[in-house]
Amino acid sequence: MNQNQELRVAIVHFWYVRRCGAERVLEVLAEIYPQADIFIMFMDPAAALQPSLRGHKITTSFLQKLPGITRHYRKLLPLFPLAQEQFQLDDYDVVISSEAGPAKGVLTRPSTCHICYCHTPMRYVWDMSHHYRSTAPWGRLGRFFYSLSAHYVRLWDYAASARVDYFVASSSNSAGRIRKYYRREADVIYPPVDIAAFSVSAKQEDFYLVVSRLVSYKRVDLAIAACNQLKRRLVVIGQGEQMGSLQKIAGPTITFLGSQSDETVRQHYRSCRALLFPGEEDIGLTPIEAQASGRAVIAFGRGGALETVAGFYPGEDVNPEEATGVFFAEQSADALAEAILAFEAVEAKLSPAFIRAQATRFDVSEFKRQFAICVTEKVAQYRNFERPSVLNSEMCEK
pLDDT at 396: 40
Q: Which residue has the higher pLDDT, 164 or 388?
A: 164
Residue 357's contacts (CB-CB under 8 Å, 6 or more residues apart) are none
**pLDDT tens-digit map of 55-102:** 899 999 999 999 988 888 877 888 988 999 999 999 999 999 998 778
Are the folds of 3-192+363-390 and 195-361 the same? yes
**pLDDT tens-digit map of 289-314:** 999 999 999 999 999 999 999 999 99
> Which CATH number does 195-361 carry?
3.40.50.2000
79 contacts 63 by C-beta, under 8 angstroms: yes
Classified as helix, coil or strand, 39 is strand
Per-domain boundaries in the chain: 3-192+363-390, 195-361
pLDDT at 19: 84
Nearest residue to 396 via CA among 183, 193, 90: 183
Cα–Cα distance measured from residue 48 to residue 54, given in angstroms and rounded to the nearest whole number: 10
Cα–Cα distance measured from residue 155 to residue 2, given in angstroms and rounded to the nearest whole number: 39
**pLDDT tens-digit map of 131-174:** 777 777 677 787 777 787 888 888 888 999 999 999 999 999 99
| Pairing of β 311-312 and β 296-300 | unpaired
Decide if pLDDT at 175 tops 80: yes
Predicted structure pTM score: 0.86
- For 3-192+363-390, the fitting CATH number among 1.10.10.10, 3.40.50.2000, 3.20.20.100, 3.30.110.40 is 3.40.50.2000
| Mean pLDDT value of segment 196-205 | 94
Residue 103's contacts (CB-CB under 8 Å, 6 or more residues apart) are 12, 13, 14, 41, 84, 97, 116
Cα–Cα distance measured from residue 324 to residue 296, given in angstroms and rounded to the nearest whole number: 5
Beta strands in the chain (DSSP E): 9-16, 37-43, 58-60, 94-99, 113-118, 166-169, 186-188, 208-211, 234-237, 254-258, 274-277, 296-300, 311-312, 325-328
**Residues of the chain with pLDDT > 90: what percent?**
71
pLDDT at 393: 42
Cα–Cα distance measured from residue 33 to residue 98, given in angstroms and rounded to the nearest whole number: 14
Cα–Cα distance measured from residue 396 to residue 393, given in angstroms and rounded to the nearest whole number: 5
Summary mean pLDDT of the chain: 90
Cα–Cα distance measured from residue 388 to residue 114, given in angstroms and rounded to the nearest whole number: 12
322 contacts 354 by C-beta, under 8 angstroms: yes
Decide if pLDDT at 126 tops 80: no
Q: Which residue has the higher pLDDT, 393 or 246?
A: 246
Cα–Cα distance measured from residue 372 to residue 193, given in angstroms and rounded to the nearest whole number: 16
Residue 58 bridge partners (DSSP): 38
Cα–Cα distance measured from residue 72 to residue 261, given in angstroms and rounded to the nearest whole number: 25
Q: At what angle do helices 220-230 and 333-346 cross, to 10 degrees?
A: 60
DSSP state of 192: P
DSSP H stretches of helix in 127-219: 129-134, 139-161, 172-182
Nearest residue to 187 via CA among 393, 5, 381, 396: 381
Q: How confident is the model at residue 36 (pLDDT cuts 50, 70, 90)?
A: very high
Q: At what angle do helices 364-383 and 21-32 cross, to 10 degrees?
A: 60
Nearest residue to 347 via CA among 289, 279, 298, 397: 298
pLDDT at 397: 41
**pLDDT tens-digit map of 206-250:** 999 999 999 888 999 999 999 999 999 999 999 998 999 999 999
Q: Is the dihedral of CA 113, 119, 121, 124 positive or negative?
A: negative
Cα–Cα distance measured from residue 228 to residue 249, given in angstroms and rounded to the nearest whole number: 9
Cα–Cα distance measured from residue 117 to residue 99, given in angstroms and rounded to the nearest whole number: 6
pLDDT at 259: 92
| Mean pLDDT value of segment 319-328 | 94
Classified as helix, coil or strand, 99 is strand
Decide if pLDDT at 123 tops 80: no
Decide if pLDDT at 328 tops 90: yes
Cα–Cα distance measured from residue 117 to residue 210, given in angstroms and rounded to the nearest whole number: 27
Query: CB 277: neighbour CB atoms within 10 A?
Result: 30
Nearest residue to 94 via CA among 187, 191, 5: 5
pLDDT at 4: 64
236 contacts 208 by C-beta, under 8 angstroms: no
pLDDT at 386: 60
Residue 326 bridge partners (DSSP): 298, 312
